[in-house]
Amino acid sequence: MTVSLHSPLPSPLPSDLLSGPPSDPGAPSRLIGDDTDADADGLSSVWPRSARAGADGDVSVGGVSLAEAADRFGTPVYVLDEQEVRERCRACRAAFPEADVVYAAKAFLCRAVARWVMEEGLGLDVCSAGELTLAVTTGFPPERIVLHGNAKSPEDLRTALRLGVGRIVVESVSEIARLAAATPAGSRRQVMVRVVPGVAAGGHAKVRTGTDDQKFGLSIADGSAQHAVARILDQPHLEFVGLHCHIGSQIDSVKPYVAAVRRMVGLMARIRDQHGVALPQLNIGGGHAIAYRPGEAALDVGALADRVHAELADGCARARLPVPRLTLEPGRAIVGPAGIAIYHVLAVKRTGERTFVAVDGGMSDNPRPALYGVRYAPRLIGRLSSAPPRTVTVVGRHCEAGDVLADEVALPGDVRPGDLLAVPAAGAYHLSMASGYNLVGRPPVVAVSDGIARVLVRRESLDDMSRRDVGL
């Protein structure tokens, strides 16, 4: 389904991810760049690069009016800037030209996103038979897919073997035996071992995965990783090609990655000394931070590339190891800044000293604030307001006190039912983690590019949900 939305705002200019705003001082709106903080109109680097603010209070993304998109497709609705996704893919590839860049599908996956990242030369990182099947049936080459998962089901492994994924990341000793038994005679499957390097990093305790106190990977400290390596090397149907680590999410500093690479090289040297195997691959995971609010830090992928390459080259030279081919797995950093969630205001309620602005979505389409306390920067769109700002809490429609989308944020003091709120940096871990709570139905996803909007994922209807209920 393709719909042309003719916005009165200027069309976006194609640009490289690192280019600046347009130089025309007479332009009636503003092109958003990654190097800006909030300015007088409230737009900032948390918006896609194509975002423009208009004199009527509206915002366009990809040349499409967000207010018009809300009117056409209903709310809640997720708008995804195709060019922003593609440019971020290109920026990662440019920073790591000799590496395998694989998109972490768990951030958000649909057929169109799989096609975009494939066309931009990225591989894909999947965590289930469902993600894998969707990608392959879309035309994604299975040899460019990596299968993850701390507890892969028999169906996950059977599907991976049947479709011929490029690499499988092993996370437990029991998985090694199951994988070896399931691999057809006369074939070999490339595997990596996910290692816990003992590096703490990440924006919240629940997304720090590089230490021994969580469910992922195999520890260097207690010898579990080394034991797994020995078991894999004893399996004739498994080809041990490298090590993997993923130390956390929302990491805005290069230092933890450098520390992880140092420890991984040390383990590679011990494997060489003990087993005579020089591993050809090293996967350093993803977890690159993005800014959700003006002024927040995002990971500098260029600085990451410089420091990681230097550490890897120096460490391998000291250990007399060949430099392995790198793999990295950006997900949020690719799709997160490209997404905008749009809601209608349903009610404004003042209780004591607090003002609650209730919208027609909530934790069923964005559970992250409830899970991690994430804070966003919603913006009134579709009309101008001269009212002084008021501190409010934007809440959802669900029957949970924790259904809060944006706590203690500034919105115009005259915000009222019927208004539209747009939440930028909404492309990752919203719909991929969405639920059917209160049988509300998950919102649609609409791609925008060059002034054209098209539905990628339709709205989930009550009929969709009712068909699954077969109890009568």
pLDDT tens digit sequence for 381-427: 999 999 999 999 999 999 998 999 999 999 999 999 999 999 999 99
Please report whether residue 118 resides in a domain: yes
Please state whether beta strands 123-126 and 100-104 pair in parallel, antiparallel, or not at all (unpaired): parallel
Let me know if residue 411 belongs to a domain.
yes
| Assigned domain for 472 exists | no
- Residues 75 and 166 placed together within one structural domain of the fold: no
Q: Which residues of 306-326 are buried (b: 16+ CB within 10 A; e: fewer)?
A: ebbbebbeebbeeeebeebeb
SS3 of residue 106 by DSSP: helix
How many CB atoms sit inside 10 A of residue 391's CB? 13
CB contact at 8 A, 129 and 119: no
Q: 471 in a domain, yes or no?
A: no
Q: What is the pLDDT of residues 248-284, one digit of tens each?
A: 888 999 999 999 999 999 999 999 999 999 999 999 9
CA distances from 114 to 119, 143, 319 (A): 9, 14, 39
Same domain, 66 and 162: no
317 in the same domain as 198: yes
Residue where one domain finishes, among candidates 336, 352, 386: 336
pLDDT, tens digit, 9 for 90 and up, residues 82-130: 999 999 999 999 999 999 999 999 999 999 999 999 999 999 999 999 9
**Domain identity same for 353 and 377:** yes
Q: What's the pLDDT score for residue 27? A: 35
- Average model confidence (pLDDT) for the chain? 88
Read out DSSP for 253-266? -SHHHHHHHHHHHH
Domain that holds residue 399: 2-20+28-81+338-465
Active-site residue identified among 92, 110, 316, 399 = 399
CATH of residue 301's domain is 3.20.20.10
Residue carrying structure tokens 């915000």: 415
Let me know if residue 470 belongs to a domain: no
Per the structure, the count of domains in the chain is 2
Q: Is residue 144 part of a domain?
A: yes
Residues 253 and 378 in one domain: no
107 and 147 in one domain? yes
pLDDT at residue 29 in the model: 36
Residue 414 lies in a domain: yes
Residues 126 and 234 in one domain: yes
Helices 129-138 and 111-119, packing angle to 10 deg: 60
Q: Within this chain, do residues 332 and 349 fall inside the same structural domain, yes or no?
A: no
State both tokens at 462.
Answer: 């009550």
CA distance 235 to 238: 6
State the Cα–Cα distance between residues 245 and 193, nearest whole angstrom: 8
Select from 336, 353, 369 the last residue of a domain: 336
Within this chain, do residues 296 and 350 fall inside the same structural domain, yes or no?
Answer: no
pTM of the model: 0.89
Query: Is 245 labeled as catalytic in the residue annotation?
Result: no
Q: Please tell me whether residues 145 and 254 are part of one structural domain.
A: yes
Q: Which of 285, 303, 336 is the last residue of a domain?
A: 336
Q: Are 167 and 214 found together in one domain?
A: yes
CATH number at residue 376: 2.40.37.10
Question: Quick one: 152 exposed, middle or buried, by C-beta within 10 A (0-12, 13-18, 19+)?
Answer: buried
